[in-house]
Structure 1
């Protein structure tokens, strides 16, 4: 179903009145369509553009309209490192509504970043500033920009990886999520794990490289060959998302049956400046289960008890966090 069809259906059910900008797109859309439609929306005189996607879509919007009008990203891509996105689709809607009905309509310039995936796979890249877009001001409902791992933290990452490997149990399946920290664990094991993917390891052997959600859930159905399993994830530096950003292969169903171990250096946790780790699995029960406090593995014999929160929920226009 096309977005146009959804909007027209809503218009028939509510007082919503919407016009369709430009010609319909009935085939596979592309970045060219995104840029063209953004320019048409500016020409039509809209107050704000909401766009759904990831960092690539943010770049397309920036390329096409620059800072002509405010924008707000609805997080729905794989890479969501930029700080022009709301925490969730729900918070995007509530932020846009409160901004449109407000008197000041304050905006701030926030970063659009992107990353060269091929270089990242080789461990040679970090998110680079591509430009800035004007975004409604509300830090509580906007995500932060992903922070690159500083060179000074490299030794800490390597030490954490060595310590984690020393504690790995025989016959336990480890599902290593994306990221430099988990990739370092694979490197200590001497395995060619995928920096952007999810890898399955057992008894020092790479069982499956770059596993997708179907493969992981098939292993779950097979009870991981009758042995225990652990999902190992590291948060996005500077943002704090540990579930639901860049690791969508790790599904809510998997997390409902397999325990989660979070790994992060003290430096990465410090980069959050007191903000919690965020979980957004797409399943309320799973997020509620993860909400609270977690023991984050930070190195040899050390753990940090750190707050984990499900992403903001909107209750009658008021942003709150649920406690369990």
Structure 2
């Protein structure tokens, strides 16, 4: 009888159609080993409530549902099921994930017995972890393994996670920023602060309201942040016009904003992010701190796309900082790579002991 080769074993693992999922506050991503990232959608679900119809039905999910935020008529209710990186509305999260999995199956089936590997915050408690696992199972997973966000991001970014040399990852998501130091395949120390892209948006809204007396909508602010957002006062100064509601008379009013305005607005939440990184440095072993001084800090997550953020953190921390390639998808790609390289038993054994898979 012919013995199985390492190559044939790897092909068998791929044939299981393992699926990696990153259910984020702002976006949900799904990854498969053979097709890469097959879904990247906003974490929003919209329910339609009809008079006398009883339970509400799902009207839209993802980008279609996000477009209804702030615009929906009374019979439609857009919901963001996650808050600060964890599930706040279990029922809405279940409906959203089932639709997302169905969307990911459009071009090729994920497999009836697909095993899900789901990214989770390192600071999530047991109740929050159970909610994430049950949401994955309700969406059709045969089983659900949980992997820490920092470790998954480090793997996806190509860092030498198995090395004794320490690496620091700062993952800035929609609801939280997670800081992790990785060495020898485990999480040596970590920290988290409930500041992310959503808090950046709120800071800009409050700044514009105080400076111009104009209330901007959430989607308008997100567009401003992505277009001229900056963490530093850089040159040349970028400008754009934005329209909101005047607080004086309630009428539409158009104002001009600059990249310097956005930098001023984001000063407070960025100080919180920097404070979280400093706290991890204070608790990390001196040897790992020395390693990070040599290798630098890696930024991942959608928040890492903010202009000049790497330069801002480098100036404050005195350590080289760089943004990962495709930072938004680092975590889900890393989770997928971890699942593809280990069978289910070895996967759980390897990471349970490091308190990274629970």
After TM superposition, the score normalised by the length of structure 2 is 0.25
